[in-house]
Amino acid sequence: MRQTFIIATRFTLVTALLLGIGYPLLILVIAQGTMPAKANGSLISVNGQVVGSRLLAQAFTGDRYFHPRPPAAGNGYDPLNSGGSNYSPSNQKLVTRIQGDIDKLHAENPAQPVPIDMVTTSGSGLDPEISPAAVEFQIPRVAKARGISETALRQIVQSNTTGRTLGLLGEPRVNVLELNLVLDGVKQ
């Protein structure tokens, strides 16, 4: 019995050291050595000041900016409290919120159908990207507020649209923070 206890204790200590300390440190060293920007959160800095991350949505207010998907992470776009609402499609709170968002967006652009990602949250509630359809829906508002033509704005959007990964995985998408920084004339 004593011998079994000693073997089990040694195995536990070796496993904890290897998998609890050694492996995470190895991955940290590899990540920092091969892709430090990604390993540190894909932060975007402007004039030495961090303004956000390519990986997390953040609130944009005002007509001059493209808006991301609605938040579902805590109080707004809280990265410490990510996750969807988990409301079922029949939940009245969800139905009321979506209908309110649709009504608000229709007032902004009554001639266009509202894209689904403008009224639904992502699984994490922090998705930084929206579909090209969601961007297109917002172009009239942003173009008017910035005093530029819709055609010129579409060209800016097109040059900031990411296609499918490897040409076949996922859907085309636009990172809202990066697009808004381009519109503000900020070089990243």
Rounded Cα distance between 60 and 62, Å, is: 7
Q: Check residue 188 and give its pLDDT.
A: 47
CA distances from 105 to 16, 126, 145, 182 (A): 53, 20, 16, 24
How does pLDDT run across 5-60, given as a tens digit for each residue? 999 999 999 999 999 999 999 999 999 999 998 888 888 888 888 888 888 888 88
Residue in 94, 96, 52 with CA at minimum distance from that of residue 72: 94
Neighbours of 34 (CB within 10 A): 9
Q: What count of other Cβ atoms lies within 10 Å of the Cβ of residue 179?
A: 22
pLDDT digit string, tens, across residues 55-113:
888 888 889 999 999 887 767 777 777 777 778 889 999 899 899 999 999 998 888 89
The pLDDT of residue 125 is: 75
pLDDT of 126 over the 70 cut: yes
Helix residue ranges per DSSP H, the chain: 2-15, 23-34, 36-39, 92-108, 132-146, 150-159, 176-183
Would you give the end-to-end CA distance of the chain in angstroms?
A: 64
CB-based burial label for 54 (10 Å; 0-12, 13-18, 19+): middle
In total, the chain counts a number of residues equal to 188
